[in-house]
Amino acid sequence: MNAYDNKTALLKSVPRTVMDPPPDGLMYCTVLFLGANMRCILLGVIAAILVAVAALVLACAAITMSTMNKSEDETKRLEDLEKRFRNLEQQLNIQGGVEKPEVSEIRPGDALQISIWTSSGGRKYPAGLAADGNDNTHMYTNRHTNPWWCADLQDIYHIKRVVVTNRMHSEEAIRARATNLRVGVTSTRPQVGENLALDAYTLCEEKPGYMGPIGIVNCPDGVSGQYVIVQFQVANNHMHIAEVKIYGYKETL
Ligand SMILES: [Ca+2]
């Protein structure tokens, strides 16, 4: 066997799978090609998803930051408004616009009552005895339906509180005449000797039943006038009280 024959024999011994494509070689290459492209597509899809997720995270972070900034801005805006309001309130206080004057006791310049009871010994108990600063002296009226006592403040005052002290040193049955206390304010002077209607004044408060040793009445804001009325809503009875203390402040125009 010469060299040519040897080469030929060697070529014939090479497997056909290396030298020649298999009968379905075209399909094999197509699968390889598509397989490579599918991996690329898959990698592309994964990359796109990652990019989308990253974009979503960034968007959420941006929205959160924006919301926080807006919240901080709103808080600062409210703080500024409150500061401006406080400054305005302070200015009004300085100008007397909303300043509430100090409440103090108002001493009446005069006092009157529906009638003056006179004892068998000729002793009289006028209205001034309920405004003399002495708890041991008291005013005293004849019997009336809804007897009244009145303090003349001789100027317009805002009335905030009235403290009525019952007659001292007497039997409980006598002091029990102080029943159904009513206190009010009016700018009309009541007439001595005349019954005073229950709606003849602005009522501060009424205390149903026995008043006890002391009756405390509060007046709502805005109640003002020159005359403070103390009245007992009773049928045909005497009125006798030791002291009336009035608290408020003077009207300023
Ligand atoms: Ca007195």
Quick one: 11 and 68 in the same domain? yes
Last residue of a domain, one of 97, 114, 145: 97
**Residue 57 belongs to domain spanning:** 1-97
Q: Examine the pLDDT at 5 and tell me if it is beyond 70.
A: no
Phi-psi region of 193 (alpha: psi -120 to 50; beta: other; left: phi over 0): left
**Pick from 244, 213, 226, 206: nearest CA to 159:** 226
Complete DSSP assignment for 173-204? HHHTT-EEEEEEEESSPPPTTS---TTSSEEE
Last residue of a domain, one of 52, 80, 97: 97
Quick one: 89 and 110 in the same domain? no
Judged by DSSP in three states, 236 sits in coil
Q: How far is the CA of 35 from the centre of ligand 1 (A)?
A: 116
Quick one: 229 and 109 in the same domain? yes
Quick one: 121 and 231 in the same domain? yes
Q: Examine the pLDDT at 158 and tell me if it is beyond 90.
A: yes
Quick one: 65 and 129 in the same domain? no
pLDDT at 55: 81
Quick one: 147 and 189 in the same domain? yes
Quick one: 127 and 239 in the same domain? yes
Q: Letter for the amino acid at 17? A: T
What's the domain count of the chain? 2
Check residues 11 and 241 and name the one with the higher pLDDT.
241
pLDDT at 121: 94
The pLDDT tens digits for 205-243 are: 999 999 999 999 999 999 999 999 999 999 999 999 999
Q: How far is the CA of 130 from the centre of ligand 1 (A)?
A: 4
Q: Examine the pLDDT at 179 and tell me if it is beyond 80.
A: yes
Q: What is the distance between the alpha carbons of residues 140 and 242, in angstroms, rounded to a whole number?
A: 9
The pLDDT tens digits for 48-96 are: 888 888 888 787 677 767 666 667 887 887 787 777 666 666 655 555 5
**Pick from 168, 165, 173, 169: nearest CA to 149:** 165
Quick one: 127 and 233 in the same domain? yes
**Pick from 90, 217, 225: nearest CA to 161:** 217
Q: How far is the CA of 135 from the centre of ligand 1 (A)?
A: 5
CATH of the domain at 190: 2.60.120.260
Q: How far is the CA of 69 from the centre of ligand 1 (A)?
A: 69
Quick one: 116 and 200 in the same domain? yes
Q: How far is the CA of 187 from the centre of ligand 1 (A)?
A: 24
> Which whole number is the average pLDDT over 171-191?
95
* Residue 17 in tokens: 């799978």
Burial label, 79 (beta-carbon count in 10 A; 0-12, 13-18, 19+): exposed
Last residue of a domain, one of 42, 66, 97: 97
Q: How far is the CA of 249 from the centre of ligand 1 (A)?
A: 23
Q: Examine the pLDDT at 3 and tell me if it is beyond 80.
A: no
pLDDT at 182: 98
Q: Examine the pLDDT at 106 and tell me if it is beyond 60.
A: yes
Q: How far is the CA of 184 from the centre of ligand 1 (A)?
A: 20
Phi, psi angle pair for 35, to nearest 5°: -60, -45
Task: Specify the pTM.
Answer: 0.62
Quick one: 106 and 91 in the same domain? no
**Pick from 15, 76, 251: nearest CA to 154:** 251
Quick one: 18 and 125 in the same domain? no
Quick one: 194 and 246 in the same domain? yes
